[in-house]
Amino acid sequence: MTIRAAIDWALGLFRRFLQVRAVFTTVVLSGIALLVVGGFLSYSIGNGLYQTRVSQILAESERGVVEVQNTFAASTVTDEIALQSLLNSVVPSLESQGSSDSRKVALLRTPGQVGAQILQSPISADLDTAVIPIDLKSQVRNATGKLTYQSIGLPQVNGSIHPAVVVGSPIEIPLAGKYELYLVFDLNGEQQTLDFVQSVLFWGMLILLFMIGAVSYFVTNWLVKPVQVAAEVSEDIAEGALDRRLTERGEDVIAILARSFNRMADSLQKQITKLASVSKMQQRFVSDVSHELRTPLTTIKLAGDVIFASREKLEPAAKRSAELMHDQIERFEVLLNDLLEISRYDAGAVAADLEIQDMNGIVGSAIAGLEPLAQSRGSVIEIKIPSGPVDVEVDGRRIERLIRNLLANAIEHGESRPISVAVGISDSAVAVSVTDAGVGMSRAEVDRVFDRFWRADPARKRTTGGTGLGLAISLEDTQLHGGWLQVWAKPNEGASFRLTLPRRQGMIFTQSPLPLPPKQPKRKEVAGEQSN
């Protein structure tokens, strides 16, 4: 678990920091390069040492063999004892002792000759003839006057094995027959030199690798630092500190980055400041318009009401005029309110007044408000709500207005057929759907349904006096709550609007608790699949 955590931590570091990645890559690649170079050096040095030593050995052996051969050839001994003593003198003359440069000698009689061995073979005191490989012996026997050699491992008293070279040569001894002279050279000295060189190489390269790592750290740090600073400053600017800038120093690419960055920040700051002042002016304008229009409208409204109240005393034409004026003043008022509301949204001056409320209650009062209209149009409103309260954090006034608006649209376009209202709930979301079975909409109409002042059919008679801003405001209200407002529609089959809101502000939801289109066997097509 802890190892895994460590690996995760390292991987995280790797992913997050460019510098870690750069240093790591540099060290790994340099390491591979050093390994190759080191291997090559080590091999070349070892090989060179060995070759030099071998040619030296061969030259020495040559001399030795010739010397021995000459000794025997020149001797005039005839008796065994003298021969034996001559033989015995060979070994000490060739042998040499040393801790790392010893040379040992063996003079062996070639087996398989006629006549019994009468002389004792002289062998260096601490040489075990078993180290002489058998295939070397057979090569020596077959060779004529030539040196043959082979590398072997020479076991030592302390158990270690020294590298060594055995050189063999046949020797003809008068009276005694064929002999083989073997010289065993210990190469421990060369091995030690090689070991030393290798260890120096190893440590040298390790230090070099470490230094490469350190250098690449400093270099990347030097390069990455300005980028890091730029990232921090960008973050600050994104957080709203619009006047943060990078320091511009020098003429290099980093300085160019800093200059371009600062220019971008300048232009952004200018734009944002300009937009902010435009937005402030807009809000100011909205506020002024609201006061300036509302006061005369209030007077008109009061006057209209007084005239309307006494319409029975007027002549027929004046009476009808009073009625028309009364209705139109109301319409004007609704339109003004909607306009002001949408301008407030445009100016970003809207804040939700959130409170935990019962969605069933909100839906209930929205329906209650529109029941008279539904009755006058002959539409029945069917309600399907969960039992028990549906708690949801919303701006109740806005959401009730939204649902009222959806209901008014359903009544308007519902062709007096039943309208169904459903409430659904899940752990993270609450949904309300309003479905009518009226004229419906084509796909092209669905696409434009939330546009301002858009009407499905301009030729269609309007009876409920909507302003054309209702759905645009509804959509803004929904977005204010972080919710969805979706529509399904099909020509001549009806339309369904589904509002989905998070149960609490900030809750994430991926699915609405209610289906869209509503589950009904005869309506399977997706929104606007069929258009006409």
Partner 1 sequence: MAHKILVVDDDNALREMVGIVLESEGFEVCFHDAGSGALDAFKAQEPDLVLLDVMLPGKDGIEVCSEIRATAGTPIIMLTAKTESEDVVRGLEAGADDYVVKPFDPTVLLARIRARLRPLSKADGETVQIGPLTLDIVGHEVRRGAEKLLLTPLEFNLLLTLAVKPKQVFTREMLLETVWGYHYKADTRLVNVHVQRLRSKIEDDPDNPKIVTTVRGIGYKAGQG
Binding site for partner 1 (CB under 8 A): 287, 290-291, 294-303, 305-306, 333, 349, 351, 353, 356, 365
Which DSSP state fits 251?
S
Closest separation in Å from C-beta 242 to partner 1: 27
Closest separation in Å from C-beta 490 to partner 1: 36
Rank residues 216 and 357 by Cβ distance to partner 1 and give the closer one. 357
Rounded CA-CA distance 367/373 in Å is 10
Which residue's entry shows tokens 């070991």?
A: 195
Burial of 355 (0-12, 13-18, 19+ CB in 10 A): exposed
Rank residues 9 and 285 by Cβ distance to partner 1 and give the closer one. 285
DSSP string over 473-511: HHHHHHHHTT-EEEEEEETTTEEEEEEEEESSTT---SS
Closest separation in Å from C-beta 244 to partner 1: 32
Q: Rg of the Cα trace of the chain?
A: 53
Task: Please answer whether residues 179 and 108 qualify as being in contact, where contact means their C-beta atoms are separated by less than 8 angstroms.
Answer: yes
Burial of 481 (0-12, 13-18, 19+ CB in 10 A): buried
Rounded CA-CA distance 460/326 in Å is 23
Rank residues 291 and 461 by Cβ distance to partner 1 and give the closer one. 291
Closest separation in Å from C-beta 332 to partner 1: 9
Choose among 142, 140, 143, 169: nearest CA to 69: 169
Task: Please answer whether residues 161 and 134 qualify as being in contact, where contact means their C-beta atoms are separated by less than 8 angstroms.
Answer: no
Rank residues 159 and 296 by Cβ distance to partner 1 and give the closer one. 296
Rank residues 98 and 348 by Cβ distance to partner 1 and give the closer one. 348
Rank residues 35 and 302 by Cβ distance to partner 1 and give the closer one. 302
Task: Please enumerate in sequence order all residues whose Cβ is within 8 A of that of 260, keeping only pairs 6 or more positions apart, or say none.
Answer: none
Question: 289 is written with which tokens?
Answer: 């318009």
Rank residues 194 and 407 by Cβ distance to partner 1 and give the closer one. 407
Closest separation in Å from C-beta 301 to partner 1: 5
Rank residues 168 and 396 by Cβ distance to partner 1 and give the closer one. 396
Closest separation in Å from C-beta 291 to partner 1: 4
Report the DSSP beta bridge partners of residue 425.
430
Closest separation in Å from C-beta 294 to partner 1: 4
Rank residues 58 and 300 by Cβ distance to partner 1 and give the closer one. 300
Q: How many CB atoms lie within 10 A of CB 76?
A: 6
Rounded CA-CA distance 284/126 in Å is 112
Task: Please answer whether residues 466 and 474 qualify as being in contact, where contact means their C-beta atoms are separated by less than 8 angstroms.
Answer: no
Closest separation in Å from C-beta 400 to partner 1: 9
Closest separation in Å from C-beta 406 to partner 1: 19
Choose among 344, 414, 322, 329: nearest CA to 375: 414
- Paired sense of beta strands 177-186 and 148-155, if any: unpaired
Q: What are phi and psi of 65, to 5 degrees?
A: -60, -45
